[in-house]
Amino acid sequence: MVGEGDRVAIVLQDDPDPDAMASAMALRTLLGRNKLTTPIFSFTPVTRPENRTMVHLLEIEITPASTEALAAFDKVAMVDVQPPYFGDKLPRADIVIDHHPGYAPSNAPFQDIRTRYGSTATIMTEYLICAEERISERLATALLYGVRSDTVLLKRRVTDDDLLAFTHLYPLANVNLLRHIDRPELPLTFAKVLSRAMSRLEVNNGLVVLNLGKVARDDLIVQMADFCLQFEGVEWVAVAGKLGSNLVIALRNHATTRVSAGETVRHIFGDIGSAGGHRDMAKAVIPLRAWRAREGTTRDRAIEGRLRQLFTVELASSPEETESRALQRGSE
């Protein structure tokens, strides 16, 4: 697939996560390339504190992507994401390696999609082992963190393959660096956001919906969702916030239901923004102008009320209806 003289671009999803970044590093190692001949791209920067800490400590360089810049490369590779995610922004992909379900088929010449795997980093670790590539401490640390983060410390969608990758990588990784990445500092603004939100928290049929208004970082939205999921009687949590020109929505559940969080956000928001994820955690990023065009207003209280309506109706649907919609999208 890749000639010796080919320039290769590795493209990650918006706001790349540890699994994506580690998998990109692994693919570059597998190809025997460096950051000049095979740069890593993303259309939006890394924002979550722990992910930014990973970028800093492991010296990961991610270049801002554009459709024009990527068109200049001989080959375009994607890891931890698939072509339909980008729509018209990325007209082609030559290599696709991912573990996420729910995407429509694409026509990339080389595709390795393993939806039963807990992480793409597991797939890439297998490639490195089979190719007898040396896995450096830096790369092992990144891959181990990628496996850990996407399987939630080996508690979600973990397979024997993920466990084998973990046990192979652990002796090679820098555990002290992992500790630093795991514990980024939280801003004092999180306490203020938490205080305001708690005064409005209500549990209706196991569902909590909150809109935090303007936030400085999207990890505040995610951490609020994770926090609220711990309360008694809570089965689903949807937390939204305005980040710049976008409305970001995090959805969480306990993975005890047949309804997938990823399918839920895709069904509700896929027509106006980027949406997707796993069975127990998902995310949607919607331009505020698109939300206003569909819903008529971007006032904070109105957004919270509308989200409560949307999620209440969607989660009341039968699992069969949800699966039918997913199959229909997959055949389109």
Note the pLDDT tens digit of each residue in 65-85.
999 999 999 999 999 999 999
Please give the residue that has the higher pLDDT: either 307 or 259. 307
The bridge status of strand 75-79 relative to strand 95-98 is parallel
The pLDDT score that the predictor gives to residue 330 is: 45
> Does the structure show a pLDDT above 50 at 329?
no
Q: What is the token pair recorded at 40?
A: 């890593």
For the chain, what percent of residues have pLDDT higher than 70? 95
The pLDDT score that the predictor gives to residue 231 is: 92
The pLDDT score that the predictor gives to residue 180 is: 87
Note the pLDDT tens digit of each residue in 248-281.
999 999 878 788 999 999 999 999 999 998 888 8
Mean pLDDT of 308-325: 74
pTM of the model: 0.65
> Does the structure show a pLDDT above 60 at 321?
no
Does the domain at 8-182 match CATH 3.90.1640.10? Answer given as yes
Calculate the dihedral angle through the C-alpha atoms of 104, 105, 109, 110, rounding to the nearest 10 degrees. 80
Q: How far is CA 269 from the centre of its chain?
A: 16
Residue 5 burial by Cβ neighbours in a 10 Å radius (0-12, 13-18, 19+): exposed
List the one residue out of 57, 29, 23 whose CA is nearest residue 135: 29
The pLDDT score that the predictor gives to residue 232 is: 92
Rounded Cα distance between 119 and 14, Å, is 17
Burial 197-209 (b: 16+ CB within 10 A, else e): beeeeebeeebbb
Domain with CATH 3.90.1640.10 in the chain: 8-182
Mean pLDDT of 292-316: 95
Report residue 44's pLDDT band, with 50, 70 and 90 as the boundaries.
very high
Report residue 99's pLDDT band, with 50, 70 and 90 as the boundaries.
very high
The bridge status of strand 246-253 relative to strand 281-287 is antiparallel
Fold observed for domain 189-331: Diaminopimelate Epimerase; Chain A, domain 1 (3.10.310)
Mean pLDDT of 8-25: 96
Mean pLDDT of 220-234: 89
- Least confident span in 35-44, 98-107, 230-239: 98-107
* Mean pLDDT over the full length of the chain: 90
Domain with CATH 3.10.310.30 in the chain: 189-331
